[in-house]
A and B are shown apart, each in its own frame.
Chain A
Amino acid sequence: MRLAVVAGTPGSGKTSVLMHTARALQEAGLRPAVVKIDCLWTEDDQRFSRLDIPVRVGLSKDMCPDHFSIYNVDDMLDWATAEGADILLNETAGLCLRCAPYPDRALAICVIDVTTGPNTPLKVGPLLTTADVVVMTKGDLVSQAEREVFRERVLEANPRSRIIEANGLSGKGATELATMIRCGPEAEGEMLLRHNPPLSICTLCTGELRVAKAYHRGVLRHLDGFMEYQGE
């Protein structure tokens, strides 16, 4: 079983690119399955189900969607195996720019929308910097010069990444991405995360609603960047 984790900000084109990619994988004789993780609601499963491949949704509700994604990797792989798949495509919610839900023995794919401007690659953080493949979408909406400047910025943020200029509408780049997924690592043995998720051990995590500073305990960071432990 191979695992590809596809992350990227909401609306960046993950599903559009994955639909074309899944079709290219099918044409190459492989059996992809898809799990979409989101927080509250998604219609991506309906879009994927048009492809006639196993599709499943996981909603994280109160949990951080990326933490949820990581916690459920084993279950997702077991499900995909039971469905007779040989490749699991996991589309994440992509809401948290501090989390990067990439295990080491997975192909880590970051989908990023070029229309958000050339400073975006510097803002995205570990989602981009720890990815193997960076998929640039919506290049049809900007000039070649803008795509080239964007690409340069991606390489500044992640010099090791392989960049694919894809189009979620026409399917450009899907064959190339499918090839990289086919040649990706086998998801087996003990997997490790590439990047540690953010601290989330404070009273807010356990349901405190009062805003005033006096009510909070745990590992906390001040506006000026000072970090401290408050509590017993």
Chain B
Amino acid sequence: MLLTILGGLDKDGRPEAVERINMVRGEILGIVGPTGSGKSTLIDDLEQFAQGDTSSRRKILIDGRPPEEAVRSDPRKKPVAQLSQNMHFLADMTVEEFLEMHAKSRGKGPEIVDRVVELANTLTGEPVRREHHLTMLSGGQSRALMTADIAAISDSPIVLIDEIENAGIKKQEALNLLAGEGKIVVVVTHDPMLALMTSRRIVMKNGGMVKVINTSDGEKGVFSDLLRVDRWLSTLREAIRQGEAVGAAL
């Protein structure tokens, strides 16, 4: 599968500097830029397979062509799973009832519920249980459950993620879980670690794609330093949580 973004117009109606981006399976692409620069809008264009009919006038192609009408309008045919910026569920039902209904809507059986709950619990320190009410879950629990739900139930070849770093879940594990095997992943992020897990990142400004930065070998070196810092931070956090004194420096 080849996913293509054809550039449109920025907020001032000027053509975007980046005219075309092609993505293949197995790739993680980042979107970076200040607040209001159009990151969520680009994610939304991908989600709805825009055909020059959104405010940005971008076009999204699959294998070089606009997708068929049914692919755009019927979510069961849509090869896209999306984790948006929402941190809470609004449906008044238990985790179990909700996951069973969602599994049914995707043509899957109730046995998948256990797996989703299990995956969610790998992403958050606060346990999520089947009998919990959705609206009572914390931000971290909700995001962990939404992430696990996407990985197991919505399981689609294109995965769109809008900022998982502020969700209070294990962000690196979450990204790896969503990326799975051979998917196309597009992630909006301000987090240096997540940004460096991508192979390229699109830079947004004033609603337009202004350039693409390839993750260099130098940046990959920075990434391994970041990993060490991140592990160090987690051991510190855990020591403090357990009521212990904090020991070794980095």
Contact among A145, A172, A176 for B44, CB-based, below 8 A: A172
B90:A141 contact, CB within 8 angstroms: yes
A117-B90, A142-B90, A145-B98 given as contacts; is B54 within 8 A of A171 (CB)? yes
- B contact residues around A146 at 8 Å (CB): 89-91
- A contact residues around B73 at 8 Å (CB): 162-164, 176
Residue of B nearest to A155 (CB): B105
Tell me, yes or no, whether B183 is within 8 Å of chain A by CB.
no
> How many A-B residue contacts, CB cutoff 8 Å?
70
A143-B86, A145-B153, A146-B89 given as contacts; is B104 within 8 A of A152 (CB)? yes
| Distance A119 CA – B91 CA, assembled complex (angstroms) | 9
Tell me, yes or no, whether B75 is within 8 Å of chain A by CB.
yes
Contact among B53, B86, B101 for A142, CB-based, below 8 A: B86
B161 → chain A closest CB, angstroms: 11
Interface majority SS (helix, strand, loop, mixed), chain B = mixed
Residue of B nearest to A119 (CB): B92
- A contact residues around B53 at 8 Å (CB): 175
| Distance A147 CA – B90 CA, assembled complex (angstroms) | 11
We find that the number of chain B residues with CB closer than 8 angstroms to chain A is 29
| Distance A151 CA – B101 CA, assembled complex (angstroms) | 11
Tell me, yes or no, whether B132 is within 8 Å of chain A by CB.
no
Residue of A nearest to B87 (CB): A143
Residue of B nearest to A163 (CB): B73
> Which A106-141 residues have a C-beta within 8 angstroms of B?
115, 117-119, 140-141
B91:A117 contact, CB within 8 angstroms: yes
B106:A143 contact, CB within 8 angstroms: no
- B contact residues around A140 at 8 Å (CB): 84, 86
| Distance A118 CA – B89 CA, assembled complex (angstroms) | 11
| Distance A71 CA – B226 CA, assembled complex (angstroms) | 69
Instruction: Give the size category of A's interface with B.
Output: 20 to 34
- B contact residues around A162 at 8 Å (CB): 73
Residue of B nearest to A141 (CB): B86
> Which B85-103 residues have a C-beta within 8 angstroms of A?
86, 89-93, 98, 101-102
B148 → chain A closest CB, angstroms: 10
A144:B106 contact, CB within 8 angstroms: no
A170:B55 contact, CB within 8 angstroms: yes
Tell me, yes or no, whether A228 is within 8 Å of chain B by CB.
no
> Can you list 23 A-B pairs, Cβ within 8 angstroms, ordered by A?
A115-B90, A118-B93, A140-B84, A142-B86, A142-B89, A143-B83, A144-B82, A144-B83, A144-B84, A145-B98, A145-B153, A146-B91, A147-B75, A148-B154, A149-B98, A151-B75, A152-B104, A170-B41, A170-B44, A171-B54, A172-B44, A172-B48, A175-B53
